[in-house]
Structure 1
Amino acid sequence: MRARPVLAITSGEPAGVGPELCAQLASRASRARLVVLGDIGLMRERAAGVAEVRAFKRSAPAPAGVVEVLHVPLAAPAVPGRLDVANARYVLALLDRALDGCRGGEFAGVVTAPVHKGVINDGGVPFSGHTEYFAERTGTPRVVMMLVGGGLRVALATTHLPLAAVPAAITRELLEDTLRILHADLVGRFGLAAPRILVAGLNPHAGEGGHMGREEIDVIVPVLDKLRSAGMQLVGPLPADTLFVPHTLAQGDAVLAMYHDQGLPVLKHVSFGGGVNVTLGLPVIRTSVDHGTALDLAGTGRADPGSLFAAVDLATGMAEAAS
């Protein structure tokens, strides 16, 4: 009988909704054993009236309805909705502990609740996001951001760039590396033996034969031809305005969009509140919620746990596929 995967759930910014969302994990069954990383006093406070909190004991899994917490101490008391730079390094300590546990075999993957980039930077630590932090900590030269939800998997060739910088960023090397990472993780972590990837063009109408831009001709098509000859099933470059119609989507297992706002508005339209951010290319499984810290909702009990539930379910499936 296959062992039940153990997942680390980082509770994120202590002034945000992360801790109370983690408390709600006790309300539903999971195929994985879920271990929340955070200050146990904070978790008891935010879980009051929702779930019992118990210290994580490796050899004694908690019963259903109980939140297991691996204690990482706060640097300063946390008040819902009020950021404190004193806890910036606490947030990073959660990530470090989860990552160390994944790399040491203690955890099968990590699911991250939202952090606040600004307060971490204000605390004296240059920080651009979970993805970049994990990539640097693991020495991974290139990772790929993919969002999953509403029956779609949408990966990005470029992420948080000004639109004017996108064409120059899409090089043959970048595109080939991105497609190789996407293909490898669809096979190894999503259990797809022969994934079909739909690749969007950069320009309207995929360049319309060069009349609306030559990136498709000069960059995208040569890479697709090279990788097809290596056995990958790639369709494209396709005009983005017709790629996301049901008939076309049915022909693929994932989409590669060229830039952030080409692919994500469609996915978020069909999955908002239940979408999952996945980092591909890391040596560990990592999924995340698709929303921020929601400081205005912290401590109110009104935050929607749907995205965290979906992130846990996806990480569980990925861990099972990889085992």
Structure 2
Amino acid sequence: MSPRIGLIPGDPSGIGPELVARLLAEDCIAEAEVLLIGDRHVFELGQAQAGLSHEMTTVDAAADWTRADGLALHEMQTLTPDEVVLAESTEASGRSTLRVLDQALDFVQQGVIDAIVFAPFNKASMHMAGIGHSDELHYMAEKLGVSGYISELNTLDGMWTSRVTSHIALKDVADAIDAHRIEEATHLIDRTLRRAGYARPRIAVAALNPHAGDGGNFGREEIEVIEPAVRKLAGGQMAVTGPLPSDTVFLKVTRGEIDAVVTMYHDQGQIALKLLGFDRGVTVQGGLPVPVTTPAHGTAFDIAGRGEADVGATRAAFEIACRMVSNWEQESAA
């Protein structure tokens, strides 16, 4: 059975609606049953920006929406057309984003869809609307009742990263790193890659300090925390190595020697992946009970409404979600 993907337009003020319109014209759409979730006028705005037109049929998502003529649309009314202000963070756009996301999360819990793909959110707008969390991942985790370890994972052209710490100040990183978090981050990316189709993911754990601490001359985190955690993971038959210097570990990824890097902090992995391919990177919301993916870039207010948005990362996010649904079902059957 084809994966049932809920597709939501992200922040209406950014390039999200245009990206959705462009994605719907891509061949990969045929790999899945797609349910559009959101305001009709937002999707139509994106089509106008992209110079495209798609037939959308309003459906009752509680029924068999996959039989709809054209594209199935669960139509909502979260904001009026005149509340959409391009290229600006607004409370109205943030409120719309959260309401549409809430509906998509309800649908996965009800079994209406198998996965969510969302176009870029704008964190400032969501905070104006009262998200109550540091980011959308923690918001989704609460809505889905997840109490275990969660982390954003990023992928680009077969390269993957996870994080031991994420949205915290750099000065707090060293104190936040411990063996348990390293093990959780490594297990999470191993499990996620298996669900993405990797039989035995090859994982490297990055060091924190320059030259992996240089034998303790530049810090002892590698000796006292990271290396013991890696030994324990390797002892559990996981294909993991490290700690490896962060200024060279991504060379091993680009050479195809490893599949994934467990990074110690946000920018350690983000800089590498965005430099290698800003318009192709994908974020996977790791630790949730269903696949949720999005392009790794933001709302790009500088080009919102111009018809210039590159669909590459959104297409990759959609394709990864489809693969993950398939492997998730196989894992559940086993």
TM more than 0.5: yes
What's the CA shift for 1:306?
1.5
Matching residue of 2:54: 52
Q: 1:96 corresponds to which letter in structure 2?
A: D
| Map of 1:143 onto structure 2 | 150
Shift of 1:183: 1.8
State the one-letter code of the partner of 1:148: T
Distance across 2 between alignment mates of 1:235 and 1:123 = 43
1:109 is matched with 115
C-alpha distance in 2 between matches for 1:249 and 1:203: 23
Counterpart for residue 74 of structure 2: 70
Q: Which is further off, 54-63 or 209-218?
A: 54-63
2:332 is aligned to: none
Find the residue that maps to 1:252 and give its secondary structure.
Answer: coil
Alignment of 1:62-211 (within 5 A): 67-77=71-81, 78-141=84-147, 142-187=149-194, 189-211=195-217
Other structure's SS at 1:181 match: helix
Q: How big is the shift at 1:136?
A: 1.8
Deviations 1:185-211 (A, max 9, x none): 222x12223222111111111112212
Distance change (3 Å), C-alpha of 1:250 and 1:268: same
Per-residue CA deviations over 1:140-172 (Å, capped at 9, x if unaligned) read 232122111133112111112222111111111
Distance in 2, Cα, partners of 1:230 & 1:251: 21
Aligned to 2:32: 32
Residue range with higher mean Cα deviation, 39-48 or 198-207: 39-48
Asked if structure 2 preserves the Cα contact closer than 8 Å seen for 1:108 and 1:285, the reply is yes
- Residue 260 (structure 1) aligns with: 266
CA gap of 1:214–1:83, structure 2 versus 1, over 3 A, is closer
Cα deviation for residue 282 of structure 1 reads 0.9
Structure 1 pair 91–173 and aligned structure 2 pair: CA distance change class (3 A): same
Q: Are 2:292 and 1:286 equivalent residues in the alignment?
A: yes
Residues of 2 paired with 1:248 and 1:316: CA distance?
24
Name the TM-score, length of structure 2 as normaliser: 0.88
Indicate conservation of the 8 Å contact 1:150/1:267, yes or no.
Answer: no
Within 2, Cα distance between the matches of 1:80 and 1:69? 23
1:298 aligned onto 2:296: no
More displaced stretch, 161-170 vs 114-123: 114-123
Structure 2: unaligned runs, 5 residues or longer: 330-334
Q: Secondary structure at the match of 1:296?
A: helix
**Number of residues paired by the alignment?**
318
**Equivalent AA in structure 1 for residue 77 of structure 2:** P
Q: Letter of the aligned partner of 2:296 in structure 1?
A: D
Superposition deviation, residue 60 in structure 1: 4.6
Distance 1:288-1:247 versus aligned 2 partners, 3 A rule? closer
Mapped to 1, the partners of 2:207 and 2:68 lie a distance apart of 49
Stretch of structure 1 that moved more, 195-204 or 99-108:
99-108
Separation in structure 2 between the aligned mates of residue 88 and residue 281 of structure 1, nearest angstrom: 24
Which residue does the alignment assign to 2:2? Answer: 4
Using the size of structure 1 for normalisation, the TM-score is: 0.91
Counterpart selection for 1:315 from 310, 321, 330: 321
SS of 1:268's equivalent in the other structure is helix
Q: 1:275 aligns with which of 257, 272, 281?
A: 281
RMSD: 2.0
Structure-2 residue corresponding to 1:41: 41
The alpha carbon displacement at 1:239 in A equals 1.3
SS at match of 2:197: coil
